[in-house]
Chains A and B, each alone.
Chain A
């Protein structure tokens, strides 16, 4: 039985994403599962979690040449599929090209939940059973910081090295891309439903937080970096270099809007549903969702605030313990051939990190090629900012404060 029968394609996709495959989705099973997975231990004192050691990040034996296989964990609806959903054209082309059997699983539904799932194995120095995983940059940064991502061999990555867009080359959490390459880029922007705002444009975070016309119909994201980063920009601070005081000031600003009931909710992907139904007038949103949502809801518009917007990336990395480093690297490199990257971008609708894709996309689908949410133009790129990486102490303290703000 198809649960989503009768829903249009973009709304269905958004639902699926928000329910089971959301960037910040939730599932009670995973919480229970996390508890059970770690449950084998005996006596109380024997249950400590070992320290993360950076030695695990160094390379393990590579069995790639003997064992032509690869296990690839990705987010749901994050790879091109044929119309009948039975095939993944770009991936199958890769298998054919290199004779490598790829086991593709879309079992990542949420950064923190996935981390909770693989953390026990990684902490114990065991293999996660995966050779390639896709994680959002701050989580990828945490994996690298803990020594749980393997260093890459540049020799296997010629296309990736040549074609990675300049602006993605030097993230502060992985200088020179020694451990990771982006799968797709994410833009965090403002979205609004013109039917609800009665044609009024919503173009800044200040407006979200204070405009009385929007009262009670504003949502922000439950991802701390997106919500706080956009607010910092609005306050004239740089998310690349803010201080802890700036962070507190941004939180105070959002808190005011929570107290005055201006903000209705902090959500994961399920804002797409609220925006389409009109329960939300405006919100902070991920561009990739909007591309799909707009297909069926032309009244939904997006705005890039003058103060700028936030970009992040979802990154491929090879977790510690993987014995197929070469195979995984070849796959990373595969998606940096402009033609392959174009096919992928035309389907997933997120920002492509690969240069030279626009020309290829023009051959496939002009509307995608000219959509600034997929291939940002120069004006848009100029306004892009990234959230700086945090030390583990900052991370705990910031997440804790933010959790209080969003009510938990």
Chain B
């Protein structure tokens, strides 16, 4: 528009000026057109499954008689009463895994962002490389790593670490597989990249001159970290913890492969209700409640941590 208005007065105008009303209207519509693919995507892959699932959760019936919507809301209460322990267990395992991911991921992301120099890209590839292998294979690999007679377990045993973990109920006797520790290890390992990558992007953006300025103002390195680096990286921490915690609490592969019957998580219950027991309403109700529980936890967390700079 600016180019047209500054054109020499005598130059012929090739296109007649669009009436201002229509142009403005058209411009107003542009964002909606741009949103269309996203909205369609959400309708097909989010709204429709949600509605279907909501409907399933209030149906009753069997394969022979078919399933009808009877608004049998008691399914929710019955399912919750029966499986509340599984929710609790899932949240605890996912919580521990998230904390571990943060403890492992933060120093690593920090190193990659500030100290790695020319190794930065190599290290980043190493973080992402496990994704080139199937999720199942990666999880099964832990069966070999943590094998009862393997190196890891015998070293832990010799160092009496297993006695300590057994005392707090994380392991049993002299093995790691088929214990809570194995499940938490699996979760931590599988979701670690989801923690590191957002941390890395938010750390990498920090201007190194901020560190210098902090030094000039007589801040010791730790103070610099506490007062400058960490607060700026907080959006990364929030994003990383969410990306780790949410999928980890719904995961069932780790519990199935690395756990014993007493480590099964809510995802395992939903899977078995849906596929094996053919109790579709209960499976749907359980999924909805898992979603609700996670939503509540996440909204409280975000309110505390703040999201202004999450993106």
Beyond A34-B275, A41-B51, A145-B64, 9 extra complex contacts between A and B, CB < 8 Å: A26-B136, A47-B59, A49-B67, A277-B144, A396-B279, A405-B261, A406-B264, A407-B261, A407-B264
- Asked whether A79 is an interface residue with its Cβ less than 8 Å from the other chain, the reply is no
Name which of A48, A52, A113, A116 has the most chain B CB atoms within 10 A of its CB: A48
Given A52-B63, A146-B64, verify A408-B53 contact (CB < 8 Å): no
Which residue in chain B gives the minimum CB-CB distance to A147?
B64
Are the CB atoms of B260 and A270 closer together than 8 Å?
no
Determine which of A264, A265, A270 lies in contact with B140 in the assembled complex, contact meaning CB atoms within 8 Å: A270
Q: How far is the CA of A406 from the CA of B277 in the complex (A)?
A: 13
- Asked whether B299 is an interface residue with its Cβ less than 8 Å from the other chain, the reply is no
Among B107-155, those with CB < 8 Å from A are 133-137, 140, 143-144, 147-149
Are the CB atoms of A39 and B49 closer together than 8 Å?
yes
Q: How far is the CA of A34 from the CA of B276 in the complex (A)?
A: 13
Q: Could you list some 5 contacts between A and B, CB below 8 A?
A: A20-B136, A49-B66, A258-B262, A392-B62, A400-B279
Are the CB atoms of B143 and A273 closer together than 8 Å?
yes
Are the CB atoms of A44 and B69 closer together than 8 Å?
yes
Are the CB atoms of A45 and B133 closer together than 8 Å?
no
- Which residues on the B side are within 8 Å of A264 (C-beta)? 177-178, 260
- Which residues on the B side are within 8 Å of A273 (C-beta)? 140, 143
Are the CB atoms of B66 and A50 closer together than 8 Å?
yes
Which residue in chain B gives the minimum CB-CB distance to A47?
B55
Are the CB atoms of A27 and B275 closer together than 8 Å?
no
Are the CB atoms of B143 and A277 closer together than 8 Å?
yes
Name which of B51, B268, B275 has the most chain A CB atoms within 10 A of its CB: B275
Given A19-B137, A266-B261, verify A43-B51 contact (CB < 8 Å): yes
Among A388-408, those with CB < 8 Å from B are 392, 395-396, 399-400, 403, 405-408
Q: How far is the CA of A28 from the CA of B173 in the complex (A)?
A: 31
Determine which of B61, B69, B172, B273 lies in contact with A45 in the assembled complex, contact meaning CB atoms within 8 Å: B69
Name which of A27, A41, A270, A279 has the most chain B CB atoms within 10 A of its CB: A279
Are the CB atoms of B277 and A47 closer together than 8 Å?
no
Are the CB atoms of B140 and A278 closer together than 8 Å?
no
Among B235-259, those with CB < 8 Å from A are 252-253, 256-257, 259
Measuring CB to CB, which residues of chain B are less than 8 angstroms from any residue of chain A?
44-45, 48-49, 51-56, 58-59, 61-69, 133-137, 140, 143-144, 147-149, 172-173, 175, 177-178, 252-253, 256-257, 259-264, 268-269, 271-280
Given A19-B140, A405-B261, verify A28-B135 contact (CB < 8 Å): yes
Q: How far is the CA of A195 from the CA of B177 in the complex (A)?
A: 19
| A13-57 interface code vs B (CB 8 A; 1 in, 0 out) | 001000110000011100100111011111111111111100000
Determine which of A35, A39, A278, A403 lies in contact with B272 in the assembled complex, contact meaning CB atoms within 8 Å: A403
Q: How far is the CA of A265 from the CA of B172 in the complex (A)?
A: 14
- Asked whether A261 is an interface residue with its Cβ less than 8 Å from the other chain, the reply is yes
Q: How far is the CA of A158 from the CA of B260 in the complex (A)?
A: 49
Give the A interface residue count (CB, 8 A): 61
Which residue in chain A gives the minimum CB-CB distance to B253?
A28
Which residue in chain A gives the minimum CB-CB distance to B175?
A216
Given A48-B68, A52-B66, verify A408-B271 contact (CB < 8 Å): yes
Determine which of B64, B69, B261, B272 lies in contact with A47 in the assembled complex, contact meaning CB atoms within 8 Å: B69
Q: How far is the CA of A265 from the CA of B257 in the complex (A)?
A: 9
Which residue in chain A gives the minimum CB-CB distance to B268?
A408
Q: How far is the CA of A36 from the CA of B173 in the complex (A)?
A: 43
Are the CB atoms of A49 and B178 closer together than 8 Å?
no
Are the CB atoms of B262 and A31 closer together than 8 Å?
no
Name which of A47, A123, A399, A403 has the most chain B CB atoms within 10 A of its CB: A47
Q: How far is the CA of A303 from the CA of B11 in the complex (A)?
A: 98
Which residue in chain B gives the minimum CB-CB distance to A280?
B148
Are the CB atoms of B275 and A112 closer together than 8 Å?
yes
Given A45-B69, A216-B173, A278-B148, verify A407-B143 contact (CB < 8 Å): no
Which residue in chain A gives the minimum CB-CB distance to B251?
A28
Are the CB atoms of A39 and B52 closer together than 8 Å?
yes
- Which residues on the B side are within 8 Å of A379 (C-beta)? none
- Which residues on the A side are within 8 Å of B271 (C-beta)? 26, 31, 408
- Asked whether A274 is an interface residue with its Cβ less than 8 Å from the other chain, the reply is yes
Q: Which 9 A-B pairs have the closest CB atoms?
A: A407-B261, A51-B66, A407-B264, A47-B55, A408-B268, A112-B275, A49-B67, A408-B272, A39-B49
Determine which of B64, B144, B175, B276 lies in contact with A399 in the assembled complex, contact meaning CB atoms within 8 Å: B276
Are the CB atoms of B62 and A396 closer together than 8 Å?
yes
- Which residues on the B side are within 8 Å of A28 (C-beta)? 135, 252-253
